[in-house]
Amino acid sequence: MVWLIIILFCLGNSSSQILDVTNNSHLDFDYRLFGLLQRLQVEKFYDTLLVYGEDCAIPSLFERLQVPAVLVSSGSTNFDWNFSSLTLILSCNFQDEREENYRTLMKLQTSRRLILLKGHIKPESVCDFYSKKEQHNVAMVKENFYQLEVVYSCRLFQDQNYEKLNLFDGKSIYKDQFRNMHGAPIRTLSDKEPPRTIPYIDSKTGEEKFKGYVGMLISQFVKKVNATMQIREDLIKDDEEVSFVDITNFTSNDILDIGICEARTLEMSNYDAISYPYLMSSYCFMAPLPDSLPFSDVYMAIVAPSILIMFLIIFCICSVLIIYIQERSYRSLTIRSVLMNDICLRGFLAQPFPFPRQYNRKLKLIFMLVCFSSLISTTMYTAYLQAFLWGPPIEPRLTSFDDVKKSRYTMAINIYEREFLEALNVSLEDVEIYDYGKFSKLRSTFNTNYLFPVTALQWFTINEEQKLFKYKIFYYCDAFCLNQFDILSIPLRRHLPYRDIFEEHMLLQKEFGLTKYWIDQSYRDMIRANLTTFKDFSPPLENDYIEVHNLYWVFTMYFVGMGMGLCFFILEILRPLRYWRNCKIKCEYCYAFLKNFAK
């Protein structure tokens, strides 16, 4: 009996010692894990801790860390992780993170991950698992890491896919590995559409390279991250031209990493396969400059209808005042006497007229107004006539799609711009639609019978080419556009792991003025690459001298006036003066009779 009591006492003592060791090990693990999480926060700040696993509730750790923690025990979120937070992911066991939410995977792809390994799981298998998911910021610790003080960090561009680090070495646990890709390939393809991408053959290496504000952006990025540009020419079938739409589809289907072109954004439901906006411009039309007004229309174009009506009203008012002041009666006011007033007619045409013998101050004031009006009107008309005959004015510019229908111009578009017109409810009846390549060739001929849609960035290069012509023949019409706010983005693979580095590079190039420099140099680069010439596409100037048919209105008014004057002169010779007096008396008698009859 005594021996039984002694045995039970020894067993109780040993079990208590085992429990103390277990509790101490848990305390050491929590303490070391807390220290590791604090160190990671010092290396790179995070404000949210996302925890995957069923047995990861460590309240004391979360309280001391003072960082909001989100527990996902099921291994996947049931909501979109769209928070603008810096997140650290903690997995309490390998493969506890079984995220299936697409938006959460996209948002947290480049976030740092800390994996707690249990059992005999090898670090290389863990790194290989996450590498296939293109999640490369992964570090691991084993259950006894508080004793070994060792952290395993995944490495991509080296023979061994992980690195063993000591907590007290002072080395950074996570590395931005894509800052140096050690010659790894970047799959890409270009649409070779200047001025965005200007292909040329390097004289030293014999390789195809690219200039332009998009081509240089990609080329400089490849050099910056020490990568290799892999042109996927095998995607081009039967030497067909590849458009920016094809390249955008290739990147969306994970065939290409980065496209050297502009991304197509019209029918996209989301923007996961394109970059942050690179440049912003407008998408309008380059239209031919309006034709000059014919010389025959200059004479009537000087005086606007409203001004002509105003002069007619002033003429009638002055005529009425002159007749009333001279006759002192309203009976002499007739339509014939007002409209055919000899003094007003001569006065407004700046011709001399006989001054009446009986006059007063009021009549002098009216004559002064008549003379002043005639001086102003004739001087201005003569000045405008001389100026317009020297340089005729141009016809009004286009301001809407309705003006295009009424004009002599035809709208030429490529097959991808048809959707823009359909979205704007513009009729395609008089619109010519070309393939992408044929449209670019037609636009480069500067055919003045067409309107061509261009972006403001493309127009800059076209306008630079126009400066070499004798005179400009096109202008950028922003009164009506396909897209007033056009965004230029770069096609990117959906799960590209170095998307943030590329977008940072893109913004830095723009901030330091390199993008503007590439845009300014685009036309010169096109000349060096033999993609354009110095040919002058401006048509020869028409003869600017005035021909007889241009004086149609002048001769018409002259001969009509001479004919009327000749007719009146002949009638005065054939008929004696007494006859005309009798006719006048008879007319006055008839007028008085009709007036009394009307009463």
* CATH code assigned at 501: 3.40.190.10
- CB neighbours (10 Å) of residue 82? 10
Buried b (16+ CB within 10 A) or exposed e, 120-130: ebebeebbebb
- Digit-by-digit pLDDT tens for the chain (599 residues) are 544 444 444 444 444 443 343 444 455 677 778 888 888 888 888 888 888 887 776 666 777 778 888 888 888 888 787 777 788 999 888 888 888 888 888 888 889 999 988 888 899 999 999 999 999 899 998 888 777 788 999 998 888 888 998 887 778 889 888 999 999 999 999 988 889 999 998 888 888 899 999 999 999 999 999 999 999 988 888 777 888 888 999 999 999 999 999 988 776 677 888 998 999 999 999 999 988 777 777 777 777 788 888 888 888 888 887 777 777 777 777 777 777 777 787 777 777 777 766 667 777 787 778 888 888 888 888 888 787 777 777 888 889 999 998 888 999 999 888 888 888 888 888 899 998 888 988 998 999 999 999 999 999 999 999 988 888 999 999 888 998 888 899 999 988 999 999 999 999 999 999 999 999 999 999 998 888 888 888 887 766 666 766 777 777 877 887 887 787 677 666 655 556 566 667 677 676 766 666 65
Q: Do residue 519 and residue 553 come from a single domain?
A: no
The reported pLDDT for the residue numbered 575 is 59
Q: Do residue 40 and residue 112 come from a single domain?
A: yes
From 175, 199, 234, the end of a domain falls on 175
27 within a domain of the structure (yes/no): yes
The reported pLDDT for the residue numbered 16 is 40
Contact 480, 284 (CB under 8 A): yes
- Secondary structure (H, E, C), 57-73: CCHHHHHHHCCCEEEEC
Q: What one-character DSSP code corresponds to residue 328? A: S
- The enclosing H or E element of 424 equals none
**Chain Cα centroid distance, residue 255:** 28
Q: Give the Cα-Cα-Cα angle 295, 298, 299 (nearest 5 degrees).
A: 120
- Tokens encoding 512: 């330091």
Q: Do residue 161 and residue 185 come from a single domain?
A: no
The reported pLDDT for the residue numbered 513 is 92
Instruction: Supply the CATH number for residue 83's domain.
Output: 3.40.50
Concatenate the DSSP letters of all residues of 488-551 into one string.
E--BB-TT-TTHHHHHHHHHHHHHTTHHHHHHHTHHHHHHHTTSS-----PPPPPP-SPPGGGG
70 within a domain of the structure (yes/no): yes
Q: Give the Cα-Cα-Cα angle 301, 303, 308 (nearest 5 degrees).
A: 135
Q: Do residue 212 and residue 100 come from a single domain?
A: no
Q: What's the CA gap between 339 and 64, in Å, rounded?
A: 102
Q: Do residue 97 and residue 169 come from a single domain?
A: yes
The number of folded domains in the chain is: 3
Only one residue has tokens 């990861």, namely 56
Task: Give the range of the structural domain holding residue 576, as residue numbers without chain letter.
Answer: 548-599
Q: Which amino acid is at 206?
A: G
Q: What's the CA gap between 53 and 75, in Å, rounded?
A: 6
Q: What one-character DSSP code corresponds to residue 292? A: B
Q: Quick check: bond before 195 cis, omega within 30?
A: yes
Q: Do residue 124 and residue 152 come from a single domain?
A: yes
First to last CA, the chain: 157
Strands (E), 180-292: 185-190, 198-201, 208-211, 228-231, 258-260, 279-288
Query: Among residues 448, 516, 94, 84, which one has the least CA distance to residue 281?
Result: 516
Query: Among residues 344, 353, 339, 336, which one has the least CA distance to residue 374?
Result: 344
Dihedral angle, C-alpha 211, 215, 219, 224, nearest 10 °: 120
74 within a domain of the structure (yes/no): yes
The reported pLDDT for the residue numbered 265 is 76
Q: Do residue 150 and residue 262 come from a single domain?
A: no
138 within a domain of the structure (yes/no): yes
Q: Do residue 85 and residue 159 come from a single domain?
A: yes
Only one residue has tokens 């072109």, namely 261
Q: Do residue 171 and residue 60 come from a single domain?
A: yes
Give the SS3 label for residue 335. helix
431 within a domain of the structure (yes/no): no
From 127, 145, 175, the end of a domain falls on 175
Contact 487, 265 (CB under 8 A): yes
55 within a domain of the structure (yes/no): yes
Q: Do residue 102 and residue 226 come from a single domain?
A: no
Contact 243, 438 (CB under 8 A): no
The reported pLDDT for the residue numbered 114 is 92
The reported pLDDT for the residue numbered 429 is 85
**Chain Cα centroid distance, residue 45:** 37
Alpha-carbon distances, residue 445 vs 473, 519, 542 (angstroms): 12, 22, 20
272 within a domain of the structure (yes/no): yes
Q: What's the CA gap between 307 and 315, in Å, rounded?
A: 12
Q: Do residue 497 and residue 582 come from a single domain?
A: no
Q: What's the CA gap between 348 and 373, in Å, rounded?
A: 7
Query: Among residues 186, 139, 143, 180, which one has the least CA distance to residue 161?
Result: 139
From 128, 143, 175, the end of a domain falls on 175
The reported pLDDT for the residue numbered 76 is 85
Does the pTM surpass 0.95? The reply is no
Query: Among residues 114, 524, 552, which one has the least CA distance to residue 294?
Result: 552
296 within a domain of the structure (yes/no): no
Q: Do residue 163 and residue 201 come from a single domain?
A: no
